[in-house]
Amino acid sequence: MSVDKLKQIVLGVTAVSLFLMSGIALADYMNVLNLTEGVTPTSKMVYSLHMQILYIVTVIGILVFSVMCWSIYHHRKSKGAVAEQFHHSTAAEITWTVVPILILVLMAIPATKALVFMEQTGDSEMTIKVTGYQWKWKYDYLDEDISFFSALAQDSNDARQRGSGIDPNTVDNYLLDVDNRVVLPIKTKIRILTTAADVIHDWWVPALGWKRDAIPGFINDNWTYIEEPGVYRGKCAELCGKDHGFMPIVVEAVSKDEYVAWVEEQKSIQLAAAAGADKEWTKEELLEKGAAVYAANCAACHMAEGQGIEGLFPALKGSAIVNGPASEIIMQVLNGKNMMPAFKDQLNDVDLAAAITHERNSWGNTAADIVQPADIKAAR
């Protein structure tokens, strides 16, 4: 067998091997690393568009590299190939201008249809307002007069603390679970308004097929129609500060009957919270509730033991304002100061009273008194 014949066999085997390997790699990509199809018409349209473009660019890549490999092999110097000497070809220039334009138009048609479809927020059956805060989300069900905050789940919050000694692998859905889920009915067109109270955030749940910036002073809108019940997780997709990585989103899609029952439950909870603001709480009750409120809303900056972060967030342990007159710390917590946000719209009177009571009675602080919800209400 001649050397040239052996080279051709080796090249042929190599080409077939590379083709098979590329096919396996593409299959693995599509099954493991590819986009997920999602559970809404929008997400399925985006997935279909993605696959169409993937097929087009894959065919283009195969054609281009095939021509390149063929040219390199058949016009190599060892065969005595001599390069043509020319400086202009009208036909070639027209071809490589017109063909890409046609390809782009072919891609633009389905992409435009998808964009138009995504903006059709009319005829929605319900509306939710999503507001980003550092670092949590507020949800207002505008048709039901329900409002609540959603923050990182307590077990994840505990495990992420420096020196906690908790193995994150032992926490279910670490950094992807919340204390209050967004509950939505399936097979319902839902308009979702996004905005922010401080800096730019981005509300993103991949299974819904879109994400929207939450911008202070501006309202973006989109819509969703969830076809399958389930739990769908997301996160803030805009770098928004120190705890950007700790403000997940959990959407729980349920049947319409289950959603109605959940709405009634939430209204009962809010009525109970309103009633709680009018009663006298014992010190033990306030301390127990205050520890949970502090962990969910204050520990991210002031740390679990009130030691703060030097140069960024002041320590509450031994703090003059924490140990001073109750009226001063109440006003600061309500209205905020410097990097500290105002909590008057984030927490109710009971939560604020409990958190302040916890701070004034912990870590060796000497105030050791209690703050009642009525005190917060009067300060407002």
How does strand 190-196 pair with strand 126-133?
parallel
- The tokens for 58 are 């894959």
Confidence of residue 251 (pLDDT cuts 50, 70, 90): very high
> Which CATH number fits the domain 126-266, given the four candidates 3.40.190.10, 3.40.50.720, 3.20.130.10, 2.60.40.420?
2.60.40.420
Query: Which of these, 139, 126, 154, 311, lies nearest to 246 by C-alpha position?
Result: 154
Report yes or no: 52 and 108 within 8 Å, Cβ to Cβ: no
Query: How many whole angstroms separate alpha carbon 166 and alpha carbon 16?
Result: 51
- pTM, 2 dp: 0.77
Of 375 and 177, more confident: 177
**pLDDT per residue as tens digits for the range 16-63:** 555 555 555 555 555 667 778 889 999 999 999 999 998 889 999 999
Domain with CATH 1.10.287.90 in the chain: 35-118
Structure tokens belonging to residue 98: 């017109």
Instruction: Show the tokens assigned to 324.
Output: 């001073």
CATH topology of domain 35-118: Helix Hairpins (1.10.287)
Q: Which tokens in the block code for residue 239?
A: 């770098």
Q: Facing residues of 231 across strands?
A: 252
- Within the chain, all domains assigned CATH 1.10.760.10 are found at 277-379
What pLDDT does 174 receive? 94
Task: Give ranges for CATH 2.60.40.420 in the chain.
Answer: 126-266
Q: How confident is the model over 270-325, as pLDDT tens digits?
A: 887 777 777 888 889 898 988 988 888 888 788 888 888 887 888 888 888 888 88
pLDDT for 27: 54
Q: Are 203 and 212 in contact (CB under 8 A)?
A: yes
In the predicted model, what is the mean pLDDT of residues 254-264?
95
* Residues 224, 192 contacting (CB under 8 angstroms): yes
Identify the CA nearest to 234 among candidates 242, 226, 245: 245
Options 1.10.760.10, 2.60.40.10, 2.60.120.330, 3.40.640.10; which CATH number does 277-379 get? 1.10.760.10
Strand partners, 141: 128, 146
